[in-house]
Structure 1
Amino acid sequence: MTCAGCAAGLQRALEADPQIRSASVSIVSGVARVSTTLSADEVIARIRQRGFDGSQELSDTAASGTALRQRSAETLWKRRAFIGLSLWLPLELLHWSAAGLHWHPQWMPLLMAAGSGLVLLTTGPGFLKSAWQALLNRTANMDTLIALGAGTAWLSSALILALNLNQPTWFGEAAGLLAIVSLGHWLEATVSSRAGSAVRDLLSMQPETVRVVSVDGTESTAPLAEVQPGHRIRIRPGDRVPIDGTVLEGLSDLDESIITGESLPVLRGPGFWHSRPSKSLSPQRFSQDIRGIKMAGSLPPPKLAQRK
């Protein structure tokens, strides 16, 4: 997805499916939240029918391709914006300066055609791909208008130049349109990438492994995802508390600022709810906070306000 129109179109398509009760698609996080009786594969198949790709989010701690796609999109649009602006600005300044001095050399239209053509070749494919996806969805988005505007301006100008007609050309306008909107896409991709990075930074605070103490007192290391209700977890000084639970033995100061906002360490001992899991992993407090942040980023403001 490259614009809010893509997200809105996909959301309308999902909501129109009789087997989907509700759907919410966020351009910022690149996540679609769907309430349905369909399986994840069936939902992904419907998303691909609309010209988009998708994968299932398995868990909060699972590695996701979303971060890689966001970084790739940011890098790609940055390159397109840099190339587009680097080619368009000098050409347009030369063109404006020549017009201001009433200087109209015969090679100026050829130079403008060549420079703007390079801008179309480097930045245009991103808009054409998005416009094609919109066409498959039987709708139009912002990139559809950009592709039509820039393409029509360049082709009509090339026709005027080829037929040697005494008419103005719009090579600079076509290149400028693509360059400026590419800059906008880069800024949008940067915001999306940073929003996802903030959530990933929170997730990185959760340890990947824990020390599990068996009935006979032996200690073994296990992945956090394998911790089950009833397991005993040993937490040493300096460790991060991996999961909610009840303290069975020991006394220590814990930093709970991320949960309670209390800046000073809090003394915890036997009986306090903290370190022994009594539920499955997914509903623990930290994971609930992460899911709340993700949901807040994926819901449009009016819907978020209605839920409060």
Structure 2
Amino acid sequence: MSAYNITSTHPAAFVLMGIPGLEHLHSWIAVPFCLAYTLALLGNCSLLFIILTDAALQEPMYVFLAMLAAIDLALSSSTLPKMLGIFWFRDQEINFHACLVQMFFLHSFAIMESAVLLAMAFDRYVAICKPLYYTTILTRPLITKIGIATVTRAVTLMTPLPFLLRRFHYCRGSVIAHCYCEHMAVVRLACGDTHFNNIYGIAVALIIVVLDLLFVILSYIFILRAVLQLASQEARYKAFGTCVSHIGAILAFYTPVVISSVMHRVARRAAPHVHILLASFYLLFPPMVNPIIYGVKTKQIRERVLGLLLRKDV
């Protein structure tokens, strides 16, 4: 059956290559991918269960953490099942519209994660710099508005992508040199003027990565200044200790993004599989490590997990 629909300018389906150049290792590569996905599912589902069922964990920090866990679940689930199908079962074909849907969701959830990390930075700023006003500033209505703004921003920025891609004629074939439907990987197959897509993709990346990260760094400058003004070393350690988990989550999310961006510019001649593995790492790593970071570093969550485990043992 032909990949092209006779009545349409776009293919009926795309073929995802997986990781070009490493096809012979797909079965082995799938093992750590599957392990990472399993850990992400178990960790984030556990976090959500603990936060939603424990009345003591209803502070703004934990509400934002629940948002982060839900987004991590959706982000990893938007790509990993299909990737494992490619690696293990050679299920490489993906419907054209399903490809656009996957692209929309994976990019949208990545944007949402960046927004939630920014919201968590704001939470830590208020908790440390304005502790007396914490409960009056971070009210439930404000948290709800932040959640709505997070979703609205992502949907608004990503909604044009499927419509922009539908208007192209895909005369360069239907084989995507990637293991999921990444925006620029699809654009490379399109004929016609794709300058607007290129500019739009770069603009969105700059808005998200640069602006969000800039505000996160600015929040921590104020936090650091407030911490250094505390009288005792113990108080400084305790105050900054509440930020360690968030800093770990920020590094887990933004470090792969920055490394991947730098590699695209300074190592353009690197083998394609290097860039694809980095891009996949960016989708796999944060959902996997965020529950571990918060489970180890957050006392209330750690005690709740230990309580559940000990209760099972009894």
Question: Over alpha carbons, which structure has the higher Rg?
Answer: 1
TM-score over 0.5 (shorter chain): no
TM-score (norm 2): 0.29
Greater share of strand residues, 1 or 2? 1
Greater share of helix residues, 1 or 2? 2
